[in-house]
Amino acid sequence: MQVALFCDLLCLERQYFMETLLLQNLYKIYKEGEIETVALREASLKVQPGEFVAITGRSGAGKSTLLNLIGGLAMPSAGQVVINGSDITRMDEYHRSVFRRERIGIVYQMDNLIPFLSALENVMLPMQAAKRTDPKNRAAQLLDEVGLKERLHHKPAQLSGGERQRVAIAVALANEPSLLLADELTGELDSQTADKVMDTLGSLNATHKLTLVIVTHNKTVAARAHRQVTIADGKMFESEAAHA
């Protein structure tokens, strides 16, 4: 019931539209003085609209680097990131940030909340930037959905790690993205809350074709994905299929 309401809410103003994500021969080389770290090499991946892909790999394998490139938060050393036909590596910073704000939701590995704003204000912020109507009510409903109805006016420092992560999820969903990127989304959540969050995202994925690319170490979360992709030595490998 809650999930159905949530979907109604998210689809009220704007229909989700589909995105194909195409990563072509991505390289990311970090240079610090003489030291070069090749975080990604020849990384290629195609994600169909509405797919749910789990990215796994050991610590330092390049998972966060990959999400940063998909979200346009960092530029590859070579290669392309094409979302719905647009190569975001060729956009200027302004157009890339508008594209990101309106099309992509990102939940970071370390939460990215603004410390002096309440949970409610943090969720309202991207809606206000995009000039959406009624941000306050929509933000309150999103926070209710992630189980934080009683925490609307708490600042990040007054919330637990798991609560902050749930606020970050509400922030990421605020502008009804068609592509959601999440880095260790459920890492700080107990298994019951993690299940609830995954149920919500699973429902948005199934009903509205929200494309999900999720980095996780959690086998139960990864098993929910349509496909699992592992990063090792900077390259990407398809793992065994989870459910179809």
Ligand X SMILES: Nc1ncnc2c1ncn2[C@@H]1O[C@H](COP(=O)(O)OP(=O)(O)OP(=O)(O)O)[C@@H](O)[C@H]1O
Q: What is the DSSP letter of 80?
A: E
CA neighbor of 153 nearest in space, from 172, 171, 134, 167: 167
Window 33-62: residues binding ligand X (CB under 6 A): 37, 39, 57, 59-62
Cβ proximity to ligand X, 59 vs 133, nearer residue: 59
Interacting positions 127-186 with ligand X (CB under 6 A):
none
- Within the chain, strands assigned E span 21-32, 35-47, 52-56, 78-83, 86-87, 104-107, 179-183, 211-215, 227-232, 235-238
Minimum distance from CB of 233 to ligand X (Å)? 11
How many CA atoms within 13 Å lie on the side-chain side of 47?
30
- Our finding on whether 222 is near ligand X (CB under 6 A) is no
Tokens of 220: 């139960």
Q: What is the C-alpha separation between 204 and 42, in angstroms, rounded?
A: 31
Nearer Cβ to ligand X, position 123 or 194?
194
- The answer to the question of residue 218 lying near Mg ion (CB under 5 A) is no
Among 1, 15, 32, 243, binds ligand X (CB under 6 A): 32
Provide the mask over 81-120, with x wherever binding to Mg ion is found by CB under 5 A and - wherever it is not.
----------------------------x-----------
**Residue closer to Mg ion, measured from CB, 62 or 79:** 62
